[in-house]
């Protein structure tokens, strides 16, 4: 009979893995999921940047917006790289 998460004895399911080890694994999996989500977002940002390049020369507002967005995308990419390096 299931009595909630607090009553689960993980040692019987995974001998050799303490509950703190399982927690670390789950946290690491969440980190990887978050990194993948942000990488997908960055890919979309870069696609928009590429598409807007054609309009940069003819529309001054697009040029300003594109410059700012491009800087932001590169900053976010650098932060993700640093975070991924620290996690590994």
Task: Calculate what percentage of the chain has a pLDDT beyond 70.
Answer: 75
Q: Residues near 4 by Cβ (< 8 Å), separated by ≥ 6?
A: none
For residue range 40-71, what is the model confidence (pLDDT) as tens digits? 998 887 888 788 888 888 999 988 988 898 88
pLDDT for 16: 55
């Amino acid at each position: 009979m299931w009595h909630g998460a607090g009553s689960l004895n993980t040692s019987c399911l995974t001998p050799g893995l303490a509950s703190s080890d399982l927690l670390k694994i789950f946290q690491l999996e969440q980190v990887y999921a978050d990194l993948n989500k942000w990488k997908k977002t960055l890919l979309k940002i870069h696609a928009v940047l590429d598409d807007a390049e054609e309009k940069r020369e003819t529309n001054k507002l697009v040029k300003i917006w594109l410059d700012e967005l491009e800087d932001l995308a590169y900053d976010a990419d650098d932060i993700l790289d640093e975070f991924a390096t620290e996690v590994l």
